[in-house]
């Protein structure tokens, strides 16, 4: 009596025994299996999001503790909000200038178009 192990069979025998298209078709034809698959996938997504949320909350708490320590010890908190506000104002001004330049280019292109085109 011989027992065949999975690692001893050839690729063609493996493909014959475990045909993926037949497996997928049989799983999708059974509504209960589809529902079970959807439930398992949603549980997997939920658990991943739950872990990510825990990590995000942990880092937010650590950032808050660090900021509180810096304020308590009298040191300056790196990257104050005022600096970010000033930088964003400069970026908005540069975007406005870029938009005005774009409108000028579009107007000049419209004027150079031939009336017959």
- Give the pLDDT score at 116: 56
Q: How far is the C-alpha of 28 from the C-alpha of 22, rounded, in Å?
A: 10
- Asked if 39 and 46 touch (Cβ cutoff 8 Å), the reply is no
Residue 73 structure tokens = 């010890």
Task: Give the C-alpha distances (Å, rounded to integers) separating 82 from 12, 34, 35, 78, 89.
Answer: 68, 54, 52, 11, 11
pTM of the predicted model over 0.75: no
Q: How far is the C-alpha of 53 from the C-alpha of 44, rounded, in Å?
A: 14
The string of pLDDT tens digits covering residues 65-78 is 988 888 888 877 66
- Give the pLDDT score at 1: 43
- Angle formed at CA 95 by CA 104 and CA 113, multiple of 5 degrees: 20
- Asked if 14 and 6 touch (Cβ cutoff 8 Å), the reply is yes
Q: How far is the C-alpha of 53 from the C-alpha of 45, rounded, in Å?
A: 12
The string of pLDDT tens digits covering residues 6-58 is 556 666 666 666 777 877 787 788 888 889 889 999 999 999 988 899 999 99
């Amino acid at each position: 009596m011989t027992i065949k192990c999975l690692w001893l069979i050839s690729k063609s025998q493996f493909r014959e025994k475990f045909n993926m298209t037949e497996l997928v078709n049989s799983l999708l034809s059974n509504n209960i299996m589809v529902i079970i698959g959807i439930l398992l996938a949603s549980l997997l997504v939920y658990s991943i999001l739950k872990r990510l949320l825990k990590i995000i909350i942990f880092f937010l708490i650590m950032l808050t503790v660090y900021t509180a320590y810096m304020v308590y010890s009298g040191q300056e908190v790196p990257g104050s909000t005022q600096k970010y506000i000033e930088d964003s104002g400069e970026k908005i001004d540069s975007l406005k200038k870029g938009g005005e330049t774009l409108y000028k280019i579009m107007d000049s292109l419209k004027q150079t178009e031939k009336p017959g085109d």
